[in-house]
Each structure stands twice: as C-alpha cells, then as structure tokens.
C-alpha cells in the first residue's frame, strides 16, 4: 500500500505531510492509522526536537474522504463508534505529543483538518486558506474534534461555528485563535523556520513540561481526554446511523440538498 504520509527529518525537525493531494489530503482509516503512529514515533524519538505537520499540494486537509464516508454511512453503530474512537485517538495523541508541534497550514482545512490544526501548539497559515466545521450540514456534529477546537478558539466562537457550519477565511481563523500567524504563501516556509528557530533555543525537557503545565492549568490531561473522546465517539456513531444523519450523508454523497433545507 502506498504511504499516505511523507516524512522527512532535517536539523532535528520531523516534517510529517499528509500525502493525498489528489483528494485534498482527506482522511481515511489508513491515513488515520499512519498519522497516529507517526506522531507517537516522533514523540518517542529523542533525536526529534520539533514536529511540523502539513499537507502536500494545495490543501492542508479536506476532512473525511468520500469513500470513507460512504462506508461509514453503511456501517453499524458499533463500527462507527470504533472508527470514531480511532480518529479521536489521533487528535489526542497530537494534542499531548511531548514535542513542540507546528501546523504548517498550506491551504484549506475542513472538519478533522481543523481538528489537527487545533491540536498543534503553533499554527501558521497562508493567506487565502479557507476553513469550516460543516458537520451540521450533514446532520452530524464535530464530536471527536470538539474538545480540541474549543480549547483553541473558545466556547463562544465554537458555538457559532458548530451551529452554522459556515466557511471562514484565514484572517477570521487568526482572529478567533485557530491560527497564530497568517502570511503570504511565498513566506510560509520562512515563517515556520523562524518559529523553529525560537523552539531550538529552549530546553527540550522544559518544553515538554511547559506543554504539560499549560494544558494542565486549562484542566486538560490525557486520561481525562480519553474518557471524553470515548463519549464523543459514541455520540457521533449514534448520529451517523440516525435518520437525520443517514439523510444528510446520503444527500451529500448524492450531491443534493438534504430534506431539511428549505428554499
């Protein structure tokens, strides 16, 4: 099987790129498994000082792959729960990775792609990138990514974006806290490199402790996150097999409006 990731090491920085540009780096079960393993490996590798997560091509990540969505629409509630638990574990392992993480947001991010950005310590994106948490348009909710997105952008912003499913641009993403910095595309690598320069001057053990400290002061720890993730996996599984979820997924896959849309 062709790898869904491109992984390179340079100057003690591990660059992990989602490598499905033909589908805008959309998730499927294989990508989720590979990315979880890659993050865990980077966290354990003493030669790695920082991790840069990005996408190949024009997009960061479009979220769920269409074929994956199609298979989940036909799956049982338990199968959907198991599937959602694997995605939740990916987000959790990225959030609590002991190494500093930078999201190099090279283009659009939707759904789970937004979740990946929210889980990184630092996020730098390009002008013109678009974002969205569009699950409600499918009769679903952004369940497994919700703790991480809310931690990044705050409850007030999350309530609006979870409910409307609206698209927003890079300037709005920076304003609400999803991105720390927005730069022209030609300056993206320089901006990431500048941040890596700051990180390289700090003690690695102190950085790991500082990350745990910051998350802990916000009431976030990995054991508690795992319990929340399992509850949210159960929620999204229930919604996927519900009448409204089935209608929303079916309408999306058939490229038609769902029955609840008026006008």
Please tell me the distance from the alpha carbon of residue 89 to that of residue 36, in angstroms, as a whole number: 8
User: Pick the catalytic residue: 135, 166, 226, 230?
Assistant: 135
Cβ(249)–Cβ(240) under 8 Å?
Answer: yes
Please tell me the distance from the alpha carbon of residue 46 to that of residue 75, in angstroms, as a whole number: 40
Instruction: List the structure tokens of 58.
Output: 């024009």
Please tell me the distance from the alpha carbon of residue 236 to that of residue 257, in angstroms, as a whole number: 21
Burial (CB count within 10 angstroms: exposed 0-12, middle 13-18, buried 19+), residue 94: buried
DSSP state of 18: E
Residue appearing with tokens 């500082």: 210
Put the strands of the sheet holding 181-183 in their side by side order.
5-10, 13-18, 50-55, 101-105, 122-126, 181-183
- 135 among known catalytic residues: yes
Strands (E), 21-169: 50-55, 101-105, 109-110, 122-126, 130-132, 167-169
List the catalytic residues: 135
């Amino acid at each position: 099987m062709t790898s869904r990731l491109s992984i390179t090491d340079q100057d003690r920085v591990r660059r992990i790129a989602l490598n499905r540009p033909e589908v805008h780096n959309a998730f499927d079960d294989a990508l989720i498994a590979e990315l979880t393993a890659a993050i865990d490996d980077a966290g354990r590798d003493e030669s790695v000082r920082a991790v840069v997560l990005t996408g190949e091509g024009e997009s960061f990540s479009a979220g769920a792959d269409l074929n994956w969505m199609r298979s989940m629409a036909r799956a049982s509630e338990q199968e959907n729960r198991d599937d959602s638990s694997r995605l939740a574990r990916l987000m959790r392992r990225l959030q609590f990775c002991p190494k500093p993480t930078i999201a190099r947001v090279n283009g659009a991010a939707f759904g789970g792609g937004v979740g990946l950005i929210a889980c990184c310590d630092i996020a730098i994106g390009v002008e013109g990138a678009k974002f969205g948490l569009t699950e409600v348009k499918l009769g679903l909710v952004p369940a497994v990514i919700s703790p991480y997105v809310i931690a990044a952008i705050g409850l007030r912003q999350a309530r609006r974006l979870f409910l409307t499913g609206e698209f927003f641009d890079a300037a709005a993403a920076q304003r609400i806290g999803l991105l720390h910095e927005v730069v022209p595309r030609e300056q993206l690598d320089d901006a990431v490199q500048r941040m890596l320069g700051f990180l390289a001057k700090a003690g690695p053990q102190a950085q790991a402790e500082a990350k745990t400290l910051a998350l802990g002061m916000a009431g976030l720890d990995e054991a508690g996150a795992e319990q929340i993730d399992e509850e949210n996996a159960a929620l999204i599984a229930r919604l996927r097999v519900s009448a409204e979820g089935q209608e929303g997924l079916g309408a999306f896959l058939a490229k038609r409006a769902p029955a609840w849309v008026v006008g």
